[in-house]
Amino acid sequence: MSAQGSPSASGPPPPHQEYPSKGTNPLRRTSDRIESWLFIFLMFVLFLGMPAAALGAGLTAYESSMRAVQTQSAQRHEVTARLTSDVKGGAEDAKRQAPVRWTDGDGTVRTGTTLVEPGKPKGATVQVWVGRDGTLTEPPMSTLNAKATGWLLGGMVAAGVTASLFAARNGVRRVLDRRRYAQWEAEWVLVEPLWSARFRR
């Protein structure tokens, strides 16, 4: 085969075709760009804003709960009381209300009812919490409760922010899809008669 007939000698090589960049894609509509930028923005908020919001809410809840822990611990104290009657039931039964009697620090004898494990006899000792007014009350909130409150609220805020962002994205996508469908329908009204005419020839 002569050099003139070889493929390499048939002419200059075809020019290198540059592919259009993503931003100059002629098929990329304005709504597509809006949706793409919105997704980038929402991901930015999700990975930076959501942790900050969750951390802030969790710390606020924890600090508020710790103040409640300190206040309740200062206003309540534990005393030893004695049952004034037998508590019926077995070990498998739930706690029951039972009457108890105790003596305050000033020597005042007080009575009340509290939840007690079943099966305890009259005269058995139980630990109860008493407020400043001398009445029975619930145990004060613990540090563990404060931490759990902080983690719970932080997790709820994180879940709420994430759900809100995905709901916003889906809402915008629906709006854009309705607009795109309307544009397609309007364009098809113009194209369809020309398209159908091709098959009538």
pLDDT digit string, tens, across residues 147-163: 999 999 999 999 998 89
Contact 76, 133 (CB under 8 A): no
Which tens digits make up the pLDDT trace of 71-129? 999 999 999 999 999 888 776 778 888 999 998 878 888 988 988 888 888 989 999 99
Q: How many CB atoms lie within 10 A of CB 58?
A: 21
Containing 163, the helix (H) or strand (E) segment is helix 143-197
Average pLDDT, the chain: 81
pTM for the full predicted model: 0.62
